[in-house]
């Protein structure tokens, strides 16, 4: 699992540097609802869980890749923030496009 998580953080960092990401639950939710997100990542250590529990079914419904990581601190750091974040959405993949595609393959297997 740790390898998968590191891969997700790398994808976020790459997308942030070469593409475009949105940070925070509200922004990520909007991107998923509009269908503009290519990947949505949430932190599983968010409390209360109600804050993020709507994102997974919404992403599934829209056909958007969904991933979960264990730490909101690390998610925030990967997104270039100095504070933790509960969710991020990748809007433009940039150089992370191939890595996101490989995530979809491993999810479906």
What's the whole-number mean pLDDT along residues 63-90?
Answer: 95
In whole numbers, what is the pLDDT of the chain averaged over residues? Answer: 91
Q: How far is CA 100 from CA 50, 67, 87, 106, in A?
A: 26, 10, 16, 10
Mean pLDDT across 45-72: 94
| Average pLDDT, integer, range 84-103 | 92
pLDDT above 90: residue 72 = yes
Neighbours of 50 (CB within 10 A): 8
Residue 108's φ and ψ, nearest 5 degrees, are -80, -20
Q: Which domains does the chain have, with CATH numbers?
A: 2-108 (3.30.1330.30)
Question: pLDDT tier at 4 (50, 70, 90 boundaries)?
Answer: confident
State how far the Cα of 29 lies from the Cα of 10, in Å rounded to an integer.
22
* pLDDT (tens digit per residue) in 8-24: 999 999 999 999 999 99
94 and 10 in contact (C-beta within 8 Å)?
A: no
Secondary structure percentages of the chain, helix, strand, coil, to 5: 55, 20, 25
Q: Does pLDDT of 103 surpass 90? A: no
């Amino acid at each position: 699992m740790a390898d998968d998580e590191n891969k997700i953080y790398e994808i976020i960092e790459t997308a942030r540097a070469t593409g475009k990401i949105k940070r925070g639950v509200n922004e990520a939710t909007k991107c998923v609802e509009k269908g503009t997100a290519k990947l949505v990542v949430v932190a599983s250590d968010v409390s209360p869980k109600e804050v993020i529990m709507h994102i997974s079914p919404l992403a599934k419904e829209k056909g958007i890749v969904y991933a979960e990581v264990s730490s909101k601190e690390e998610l925030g750091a990967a997104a270039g923030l100095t504070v933790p974040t509960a969710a991020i959405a990748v809007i433009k993949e940039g150089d992370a496009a191939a890595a996101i595609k490989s995530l979809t393959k491993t999810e479906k297997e």
